[in-house]
Amino acid sequence: MTEIADLTGPADILTTALAEDGYVCLSADTVLAHLGPMARQAWREFALSWDALGPDLYMADGGRYRRRRHAALGVSGDAISPKPRQPHFQSRDYNALNGDVQRWFEPVLPETLANPVLQAILAAWTPVISAAGGHPADQAWHVELHQFRIETSPAETGRPTPEGLHRDGVDWVFVMLVDRRNVSDGVTEIGDEEGRRIGEFTLATPGDGVLLDDHRIRHGVTPIRPIDPGEPAWRDALVVTWLAEIA
């Protein structure tokens, strides 16, 4: 699957595609159709929150091209509850560059957490991944939210995934483009469990996204470069991960 799919029909169509292929890439129209009209109305305010991200000071490659915020939530059925501020941690098995480090990022702002776009993402995709993975409807999930801005300039290449084609060490991942400003490249690459590339596409329109099974699918994004070297250039993305909590 290398095209951005039009799966605007019932959620069970999306669930089936996700269960069969391990990932689905979705057009902005498809994403927003599933998120509903309130999300469309709140999109501008949601996207503007990326202007308030803090620097990522943990880049082992020495880069200063990444800004981000982070939050952890508990999600079960219709219930969504913020968890206390906590570090983001990945082992080196999943992140050879920045793994085995407790990384404390500035928290996602309360108004961003309450934004209808984010609330709709959790409400729309949690039942889909629960069904695709054979979980009960009231499965409890540990959810982490990551707001990323990758900046690029003639002096420094922006690398959305400096760790390369990877898994995140969770169960499910949703990546959504929020903005592309004056950048070229940034191609999303999809690999199988062994790292063999099986697809690629570009998230080009705000709202374009990909849902994937982190056990079966590896993903990465190629470096971005400025189109006009004299103007600011960046790529904004939201990453949401789900990890099933064991009772």
pLDDT tens across the length of the chain (247 residues): 334 455 545 568 888 889 999 999 999 999 998 899 999 999 999 999 999 999 998 887 878 999 999 999 999 988 999 999 889 866 666 555 555 578 899 999 999 999 999 999 999 999 999 999 999 999 999 999 999 999 999 999 999 999 889 999 999 999 999 999 999 999 999 999 998 999 999 999 999 999 999 999 999 999 999 999 999 999 999 999 999 998 7
The rounded distance, in Å, linking the Cα atoms of 55 and 65 is 8
Q: Around Cβ 21, how many Cβ atoms within 10 Å?
A: 18
Residue 20 identity: E
| pTM for the predicted model, two decimal places | 0.93
pLDDT at residue number 62: 77
Look at residue 143 in the predicted model and tell me its pLDDT: 98
* CA dist., res. 28 & res. 18, Å (int): 17
Taking phi over 0 as left and psi of -120 to 50 as alpha, with beta for the rest, 132 belongs to alpha
Radius of gyration of the chain (CA): 17
Q: Residue 143 in 3-state DSSP?
A: strand
Q: At 86, which amino acid appears? A: Q
